[in-house]
Amino acid sequence: MAEDVTASRGWLLVRLEGPDGVRHGAVAPGVRDRVALLDHAEPLALLSPGALAEQAAEADEAIEGVDPETLRPPAPWRLLVPVEFPEVWCAGVTYERSRDARVEESRTEARDAYELVYEAERPELFLKDAGGRRTVGQDASVGIRSDSAWSVPEPELGLVLGEDGALLGATVGNDVSSRDIEGENPLYLPQAKVYAGACAVGPAVLVPDDWDEPFPIEVTIRGADGKTHKEHGMVGEIVIE
């Protein structure tokens, strides 16, 4: 098993469905096999510094036997999207490899658009979902367009923002994309990116102890057969301007 890179970074917020309905849960740093069930129902308040630890200390119920790697709880509990996001926005062409891939895949003379946006002050932003209608959580199936011949997963680092853009937490997501549709024409981006089940988020939101401290990120893509298809390791630093 890989080293738990979040063990010393902060608490995790999860959202689960079980016999008594939907509950929020807290996972302590370094104790990934147990979820404290919280009575607090407002997730954004739980993402304030120290809130998860405080609520977990007062919790009377907990789920034991949680998979420490995936945070998957034992039956009958199941993980949901960790926060019911009112909106999910994505930023494209944010690193050189992404820019180069978009330029190579483009089948039009609009290749300069990808080159220009990478250096531009204004980033490429697009609305991925609103009201949670297209977003799925852990163990749920993503959507694939029937008119696309090349659909891919895109692992992403996600940020949970509060009022006035306040940084509350970090999570992971899958920006499912129809690469061939986007490559045909950049104006087809909404069709390539926005459709039922085209956004996956979770299983948890991390509340780091220190946002200024860079942290390692490990990405592993496994197929339905459980085999590992791709692994990446990097050190990330979150900068919001």
> Does residue 171 register a pLDDT over 50?
yes
Q: Are residues 28 and 93 in the same domain?
A: no
Residue 147 lies in a domain: yes
pLDDT, one tens digit per residue, over 110-156 is: 667 777 777 888 888 999 999 999 999 988 999 999 999 999 888 88
Predicted pLDDT of residue 92: 82
Name the phi and psi angles at 203, rounded to 5.
Answer: -90, -5
pLDDT, one tens digit per residue, over 47-59 is: 988 999 999 999 9
Domain around 70: 10-79
Residue 16 lies in a domain: yes
For residue 125 the two structure tokens come to: 């932003």
The domain total for the chain is 2
Residue 211 lies in a domain: no
Q: Are residues 66 and 104 in the same domain?
A: no
Q: Are residues 115 and 184 in the same domain?
A: yes
Stretch 161-184: mean pLDDT, rounded? 91
Write the CB contacts of 206 (distance below 8 Å, at least 6 apart in sequence). 6, 9, 10, 11, 12, 169, 170, 171
Predicted pLDDT of residue 5: 41
Q: Are residues 130 and 188 in the same domain?
A: yes
Give percent of the chain with pLDDT exceeding 70.
Answer: 88
Residue 122 lies in a domain: yes
Stretch 170-179: mean pLDDT, rounded? 92
Q: Give helix then strand counts, H and E, for the chain.
A: 6, 16
Q: Are residues 33 and 106 in the same domain?
A: no
Predicted pLDDT of residue 4: 43
Residue 238 in contact with residue 217, Cβ under 8 Å? no
Last residue of a domain, one of 48, 79, 110: 79
Residue 1 lies in a domain: no
Last residue of a domain, one of 21, 44, 79: 79
Last residue of a domain, one of 194, 213, 235: 194
Residues 129, 121: Cα–Cα separation, whole Å: 24
Residues 174, 206: Cα–Cα separation, whole Å: 16
Name the phi and psi angles at 235, rounded to 5.
Answer: -115, 125
